[in-house]
Structure formats: structure tokens, C-alpha cells
Amino acid sequence: MDRSMIDGRTAVYGLMGDPVEHTLSPAIHNTMADLTGMNLAYLPFHVPAGCDLGVVLKGAHALGIRGMNVTVPHKKAVMPFLERISPEAGAAGAVNTLVRTETGYEGFNTDVLGLSENISEAGVSLTGKKVVLIGAGGAARAAAYLCGRDRAGKLYIANRTLENAERLRKEVQGTWPDLPVEVMPMEDLGASGERDLIAFQCTSVGLYPACDRAPVTDPAFYKRLIHAFDTIYRPEKTLFMKMAEEAGAGTAGGLGMLLWQGLKAYEIWTGIRADKDQALQIRSRLEAFLKEEG
Ligand code: ATR
């Protein structure tokens, strides 16, 4: 880490969240700054849950902080304090990237843009496809937005708590009235007759250290998939992905989404889009960090 490069012109960016100790975002942005020769520094800011976010943003603005990522638990709570909110962030109901303007901060959602890039990178298009979302929280909202934007043919939402799935169904139908959406109990996923499905695993089931768990255990479900995306990146290959792979489906994990949400934020802040080589270098850096952490 060469801090002697920091000078009076260094543009300061950061991450606000609680906790922030294990974040990989500084590795993404500071490495991109090195690779693209930008005079910027990206720092973690521990902003405890329950803080007055209006005061936090006023302070950040007064200090001239150019942009921030926002993580748990502030992604929704920050929204009332922003000058403007992008269409993706509005539809996903969450903001994870702030850009400084003269008078305040503008909010974006690069989790949505990152997932979109992860899907294209896997060579998959959602247009006209039958899609299953497993989960009905923040990550599922990002995937649901892309199903509407890319005109998926049909959307199934399966979730442990049906009323949360029902709430998401209503939101999706409010934004995309032409997209047919059906809610189904998790246990019915194996019994459904649909084939050629694209699935998004959007729950925390299977997250390290509970790596031997998957939200669906019926092998019949996995045989119906053509592609399976997991939003979890620790472990890099979840049991959900392993089961999908064994059944012959294509798979992609959450590391690509993590990488691209960061690179999209970097692009919004600096106007510089990572090329293939830079994206690969940062991906290996993230893999190394994850290995170090166990
Ligand atoms: P995120 O922003 O990562 O999506 P979230 O908004 O808290 O996180 O959503 C978590 C999702 O994981 C929800 O769909 C949740 O199901 P419920 O709506 O029933 O709470 C799901 N989830 C969490 N733990 C789960 C478990 N042990 N089994 C099944 N689903 C679980």
C-alpha cells in the first residue's frame, strides 16, 4: 500500500455500513485506481445502525467525499436523504452507490447493474425465458427488476415466507404489468412441471460456514434448469451451484456480481469502464482475499 501517493488532490470515496470490517470494496476500488492511474482513495466508514443518516450525508458532503457505497443496514434507510434516485434503485427499493452533486448525493443501485453484467458474462439472456427467484428480499428484487427490464416470459417467486413473496409479486406487477408472476411455496419447486428454467438463488442459505445447505434439496428441481445463478460468493461454489452443475445446468456464483457491482460504481464515479484484463485482475484479487479469510 503506497500511501505516499495521497496528496492534496486525492479524491476520497468510501463505504458506509455496519459492519464494514470484512468488506472487499476497498480492494476493488483502490486496485482499479492503481490500474487506471486515478488519484483516488477508497476507505471504510463504520456508520452504526440507527445513526441519523441525514446528518451523516451532510457531513460527508461538507467534507467533499465524492462518492460512497452503501451497505447493510443502510441501503433502504438512506433513500429519503438523497437528491435523486436512479430508476434501477427506485425499482429495487435500495441504493448502494452515492454520487456527489453540488447540493447533495444522487443514489444508484449497482447490485442490479452488477447482476446484469454477471448474467451477460455467462452468455445468458432473460428475454422470453421462464425465471425462478428463490427468495424475496433485496437480492431477489434486483433479479426481479432485470426480469422486467429484459422482458422475461414468466416469473416464479418461491420463498420461505409466502407473504414476502406475495409482496414482491405485487411490486413487480406494479412496475411491469405485462410480466406474468406466480408465487409458489419452496416445497413445490421440485414438483413443478416447468422445464428450461433460469434460477436465481437469492437467500442466505448455503452461505459460509453453513456450506452444506441449499434452499432446495429435491434433485428433480435442478434437472429443470438451464442456468443457475447464486448471489452468494462465500463459498465461491455453493451447494446450490454444485447440484445445478451435476444436473447439467450452467452456473455462475455471486463473485461476478460482487465484482461488477463494484466496477459499475467505479464507472459511475470516474467514467472509466474496466476492461476484461482489469476485471480479471480484480477478480483474482478478490479470490485471494476470500481464500485468506478461509
Ligand atoms: P438480501 O438483501 O441478501 O436479499 P434479505 O432482504 O434479508 O437479504 O432477504 C433474505 C432472503 O433469504 C429472504 O427471502 C429470506 O426468506 P424470508 O422472507 O422467509 O425471511 C431468505 N432466507 C433467509 N434465511 C433463510 C432460511 N434459513 N431458509 C429459507 N430462506 C431463508
Please name the fold of domain 113-253: Rossmann fold (3.40.50)
- Whether 3-109+256-293 and 113-253 share one fold: the answer is yes
Atom of ligand 1 nearest to the CA of 72: 2
Q: How far apart are CA 274 and CA 266, in angstroms?
A: 8
Atom of ligand 1 nearest to the CA of 134: 14
Structural class in CATH, domain 3-109+256-293: alpha beta
Question: Which amino acid residue places its CA nearest to atom 18 of ligand 1?
Answer: 161
Using alpha carbons, select from 253, 140, 236, 130 the residue that is nearest to residue 192.
130
> What 8-state DSSP symbol labels residue 83?
S
pTM for the predicted model, two decimal places:
0.92
Selecting among 75, 129, 130, 264, the annotated active-site residue is 75
| CA count, 13 A, side-chain hemisphere, 115 | 27
Using alpha carbons, select from 75, 89, 77, 83 the residue that is nearest to residue 104.
83
**237 labelled catalytic:** no
List b or e across 222-261, with b for residues whose CB sees 16 or more CB atoms inside 10 angstroms. Answer: bebbbbbbbbbbbbbebbbbbbbeeeebbbbbbbbbbbbb
pLDDT per residue as tens, the chain (294 positions)? 788 889 999 999 999 999 999 899 999 999 999 999 999 999 999 999 999 999 999 999 999 999 999 999 999 999 999 999 999 999 889 999 999 999 999 999 999 999 999 999 999 999 999 999 999 998 999 999 999 999 999 999 999 999 999 999 999 999 999 999 999 999 889 887 789 999 999 999 999 999 999 999 999 999 999 999 999 999 999 999 999 999 999 999 999 999 999 999 999 999 999 999 999 999 999 999 988 876
Q: Is the CB of 73 under 6 A from ligand 1?
A: no
Using alpha carbons, select from 127, 124, 193, 131 the residue that is nearest to residue 158.
131
Read off the pLDDT of residues 109-124 as tens digits, 9 standing for 90 and up.
999 999 999 999 999 9
233 and 254 Cβ atoms separated by less than 8 Å:
yes
Atom of ligand 1 nearest to the CA of 215: 29
Enclosing H/E stretch for 260? helix 254-270
Q: Is the CB of 206 under 6 A from ligand 1?
A: no
Rounded distance from Cα 179 to ligand 1 centre (Å): 23
Residue ranges of domains in the chain? 3-109+256-293, 113-253
